[in-house]
Structure formats: structure tokens, C-alpha cells
Amino acid sequence: MKKRIAIFGSTGSIGTQALDVITAHPELFEVEILTAHSNDELLIQQALQHQPNAVVIVDEKKYQTVKNALAGTDVKVFTGEKSLEEVAAFDTYDMMLAAIVGFAGLSPTLQAVSNKKAVALANKETLVVAGDLVMSKAVEHKSPMLPVDSEHSAIFQCLIGEHRNPIEKIILTASGGPFRGKKPNFLLNVKRDHALQHPNWSMGAKITIDSATLMNKGLEMIEAKWLFNLRPDQIQVVIHPQSIIHSMVQFEDGSIKAQMGLPDMKLPIQYALGFPHRLANDFPRYDFKKVNTLTFEEPDLRTFRNLALAMDALQKGGNLPCVLNAANEIAVWAFLRNRIGFLDMTDVIEKTMQHVTHIEKPTLDEYFETDAEARSYAASLIRL
């Protein structure tokens, strides 16, 4: 039996790499659902190649184009934001790859979990916003959560065979991004195109900016808390510019396990899709002779204040991580359009975190309200 995969966000960086993995293993996987926000051309091409049962094009203006292009096939075409949840409720797939970017990924992922489906989770914002609700639903419905984020995949792999051994702490590695070692006077003048050049990874625009500000590592700390059921003080961040060690786990005897490899997202994507099996591939291998020095540094929290803000949200919990995420999505959006400067992003997030009322144990509705309030306040600061 082939595993039937539903790729939510199939036209993105993770989505397209997942399709490469699936194409390389036609005996193991088949594509059941593909979704895209507005890239109709790529979605059509993917649908013609993989012949899924259904596709979603969220942007309603693109619906007719997609419908016409797929008229001669059996592919069902849906449109509108709500249809993401509708197709996530289908019974015809085995695993969702959650690869939509941002808060928009929350509802379909929750739907997959309620639908008792396995989830390969790339969309970290889902756990940042509502990790408590998502993980408790996953436990309730026995839906496996398989991390795709490379750090969390590394930790997951280190924990195999350690079922009864408590974690002392985890060490999340970070490349440091394109501005490692820089100070605020440099960052003041940083422009979008420079920030989009990541030294080690090729990714979507939002996560690339998050990597440059170190917000990405902050989001990953919160993601790790929920995935591995950790206290904030058990989560450490270390800068490792070579991106060869993808993260580590330290056990109660002081022993540390690390997972290593070249920085290539296809590896954690393939591991999540193929779990528990390791699938043979021809990806380039790490060679000790070529990269023979692995180095480590403390993160500079005074310069990269987004990481400090995320640590604060991790500590205080409740709806604060949801506020942090919403304000960050607005700030990154504005930075990508040259509407605000690099350091302004931090100000927007900090002010929004101070503004929105704290809720200790939010309901799902309260997470949605918090997200909307934080977005509109952050937008008002930028005068969008």
C-alpha cells in the first residue's frame, strides 16, 4: 500500500522539495491533495504530473484558470480559504505535509489532527500560536506529529530508542544567518535583498527573513517546547555557522547525541514521509575532509532582540506567542515590501506584545481573536 500524501503549500520551498522526494519513490508514495495560495501555473503543472484526487487554489481569482487547465483530468478543484479545511477533512489521504507558511496553516493542520491523520509538520507557526491545543488534540486522536523542521527532526532522530530516558536539555543549533557578528548600527541600514541571502539554506521569503533576525530560532524554541514537552529552561540555542549539526539532545547522564548532515531540507522531509524507515537516496554526503571545523558561539541577544522577545513569549506562554507570531508576520511582510527597516521589525513586535491583553489559557476562538487584534495593532504601528 502506498502512503497517500496531502501537501498543503505544495508550491512553496518545502512543498516542491517534498514532491521531488515523492517523485523519487513512486513505489512508496502517491499524491492525494495539493494546495496553493495563488501560484496557479505551478499548481496546474504539479497536478498534471501527479494526478491528485483534489487541488485547492485559495485565491478565488485563479479558480477558473485552474479549473479549465484540469478539465480533461479527474482532479477535483476547490477554491477559497475555507476549502483548505474541507479537503483536510477528506478520508482519502494518510499523511498531511503541513507546508503552508504562517498562521494560515493552523486551521487545516488542526483539521488533519481531528481527522486522525499523521502530520509531517513544517509549519512551525501552528505550534507557536496554539501548541497546547494542537498537541492535546494530536494525543486525543492518536495523530502522529512528525517534525520536518531540520532542528526538530534532528531531536526526534536523537530520541529514537530513548523512550524511557528523560531529556535533560536540548540544544537547538542556528546558523546565525547572513548578519552573524554584525551590530545594530549595521543592521539599521540592511535592505531586503541582503536579508534574503541566507548563507546555508534556500527557503521561502518569510522564514529567510526570520533566519536573518533570529526570530526563526525563537519560533523553533516554542515549537520544540510543544513537540517534546519541555520546560523553557531545557531549551538552549547555540550558533553553529556551518549548519552540519542540526541539533542535539543531552540526557540525564550528561551524554549528548547529535544528528548531522549537509544542510538540505529534503533529508528531514524524506525522514518524516518515510518514517520509521530511512530511504536510500543520492543526496550529496557530508565530507569531514571538506568541512573539517565545526564551531559554536553564544547568540547575541542584545543585537538580535527578536530572539529575546521570543524567549520572553516562551516563558510567559498563554496567548503571548500568538501575539509575537502575528506581529512578526506583519513586520516581515512590511520589511519585504521596503515599508520598514530591519530593526523596526523588533519595535513593532515588542510594542504589540505590550499592547495585547494577556490570556493565560486561551480557547481556539481566543487565539483567533488574539491573532486578529495583534495583526491590526501591528499594522497600525506601521500605518499600513
Q: How many CA atoms lie within 13 A of 307 on its CB side?
A: 25
Residue 114 contacts which entry, Mg ion, ligand NAD, none (Cβ below 5-8 A, type-dependent):
none
Residue 220 grid coordinates: 523553533
Query: Minimum distance between the CB of residue 45 and ligand NAD, rounded to whole angstroms?
Result: 13
Within residues 143-162, the interface with Mg ion by CB under 5 A covers: 149-151
Nearest residue to 93 (alpha-carbon basis) of 213, 329, 273, 252: 273
Residues that bind ligand NAD (CB under 6 A): 9-15, 36-37, 39, 58, 99-101, 104, 122-125, 149, 201, 203-204, 206-207, 265
- The listed partner (Mg ion, ligand NAD, none) that binds 12, CB under 5 to 8 Å by sort, is ligand NAD
Beta bridge pairs of residue 121:
98, 147
Burial class (CB in 10 A: 0-12, 13-18, 19+), 179: buried
The counts of H helices and E strands in the chain are 16, 11
First to last CA, the chain: 51
Side chain identity, residue 32: E
Of 49 and 189, the one with the shorter C-beta distance to ligand NAD is 49
Among residues 81 and 344, whose Cβ is nearest to ligand NAD?
81
Closest distance to ligand NAD from the beta carbon of 213 (Å): 13
The pattern of x and - marking residues 100 through 139 that bind Mg ion according to CB under 5 A reads: ----------------------------------------
Omega before 108 within 30 of 0, i.e. cis:
no
Shorter beta-carbon distance to Mg ion: residue 148 or 356: 148
Least distance (Å) between residue 140 CB and Mg ion: 27
With respect to Mg ion, which residue has the nearer C-beta, 148 or 334?
A: 148
- Distance, in Å, from the CA atom of 97 to the CA atom of 22, rounded to the nearest integer, reads 12
Helix (H, G, I), strand (E, B) or coil at 339: coil
Dihedral of the alpha carbons of 207, 41, 84, 334, in degrees to the nearest 10: 40
Interatomic CA distance for residues 70 and 63, integer angstroms: 11
Which of the choices ligand NAD, Mg ion, none does residue 242 contact, using the CB cut-off of 5 to 8 A by kind?
none
Identity of the residue, 267 or 353, whose beta carbon is nearer to ligand NAD in the bound complex: 267
Q: How far is the CB of 141 from Mg ion (least distance, A)?
A: 26
DSSP string computed for 160-190: TT-TTS-EEEEEEEE---TTTT--HHHHTT-
Instruction: Name the residue whose CB lies closest to Mg ion.
Output: 149
CB of 47 to ligand NAD, least distance (A): 13
Amino acid at 245: I
Least distance from ligand NAD to the Cβ atom of residue 51, Å: 19
Question: Taking a C-beta distance cutoff of 8 angstroms, is the pair 222, 313 a contact?
Answer: yes
Query: Cβ 369 to ligand NAD, closest distance in Å?
Result: 18
Nearest residue to the partner ligand NAD, using Cβ: 12
Q: Is 145 helix (H, G, I), strand (E, B) or coil?
A: strand
The SS3 call for residue 3 is strand
Contacted entry of ligand NAD, Mg ion, none for residue 300, CB cut-off 5 to 8 Å set by kind: none
Which partner, ligand NAD, Mg ion, none, binds residue 21 by CB below 5 to 8 Å per kind? none
Q: Which does 18 bind (CB under 5 to 8 A by kind): ligand NAD, Mg ion, none?
A: none
Least distance (Å) between residue 146 CB and ligand NAD: 13
Residues binding Mg ion: number (CB under 5 A): 3
Element (DSSP H or E) covering residue 379: helix 364-382
Q: How far is the CB of 206 from ligand NAD (least distance, A)?
A: 6
- Angle of CA points 180, 186, 192, to nearest 5°: 80
Between 197 and 363, CB nearer to Mg ion: 197
Contact residues for Mg ion (CB under 5 A)?
Answer: 149-151
